[in-house]
Amino acid sequence: MREALALAARGVGAVSPNPPVGCVLVKNGVVIGRGYHRRCGDAHAEVNALRDAARLGNDPTGATAYVTLMPCHHHGKTPPCTGALIAAKIARAVVALDDPNPTSGDGAAALRANGITVETGAGAAAARRLMAGFLHCVATGLPRVTLKYAMTLDGKIALSDGSSQWISNDVSRDYAHVLRAQADAILIGGGTARRDAPRLNVRLPNRASDAPQPRRVIISATLNVPSLAAFGDGEWLIFHTAAADGGKRRRLQERGVTLRQVAATANGRVDLRAALRILAEEFGAREALCEGGAHLHAALLQDRLAQAAAVFIAPLLVGGTGVAATEGEKFFPLGVAPRLINATTENFAGDICWRGEIAYK
């Protein structure tokens, strides 16, 4: 199961709206086939494992399939995986997690009805972490949002003059592209778009040229964003409200930018819950990485829409007023402030990255 989970991880960032799944076939104590779901619309993990076994000349009859998620029992973009396992005459399926998506059908019942032993629970905790975005979206209809930012030891994400490049070091910034590669969408606010004009794409060495890029999203109620000419190629999606200027809308659409109007909050900002729901339902996003700015971070926290954080702390003390990581009209009293739980730390050449889940009281 650990190997199946490692295989599944290779599909993160490429398979949404499907979950990342891995499968390992074992017969007489020997691995006879391996597979994982590589991209949405392509063959699922179980089918790829069976194909691998066939390529190696191995007969799966009587084998055990170790799978990170219950095999699907419905016709979607591909035939049901239960049918492939039944046709292959495997004897046993060891599954980390049941599939909470009702459209997937009852895979366990189908396998058992055909004489296949089904066991669940092995590697469940690791599978939940791997499929956190998928599981969160099934439960809430929204993508799982991770806040990502770099700050100084005295808590600044930008200096008093607005400069923020570069607070983190090269090693941290390289790892930030790993985080981007694991996301389906990257979110920024209009202020960050105007100030930094970030490209928001994944730039990793040896990454396949056809690997999918995360969708690039700007939250800007009035469409107060640059022309996007400096942003580079690729698709952009902007959420705005009815307050947006009609001429600006037309000009952005002429540049190929996708626009979605959503309701405004009482203070005139974009309704983030509505925007995230569209991002999940219409664009298939399961994992969203929010890269700022401070007001967007604060709004996501206030609305309890952020589920995780990746915070890079650089060993710098810059002084001044600067910009805090979260700045909004409201604050959380200390007794009920969101807390990072199940946190881990990693040293990136002197920068310390804290990663964990956000717990609300």
First-to-final CA distance of the chain: 35
Closest CA to 173 of 291, 335, 319: 291
Rounded CA-CA distance 185/235 in Å is 11
Cβ-contact 176, 335 below 8 angstroms: no
Rounded CA-CA distance 13/15 in Å is 6
Task: Classify residue 302 as exposed, middle or buried by CB count within 10 Å of its CB (0-12, 13-18, 19+).
Answer: middle
Active site residue 291: no
Rounded CA-CA distance 268/148 in Å is 25
Active-site option among 46, 281, 287, 327: 46
Residue given tokens 């996301």 in the structure block? 183
Which amino acids are annotated catalytic?
Answer: 46
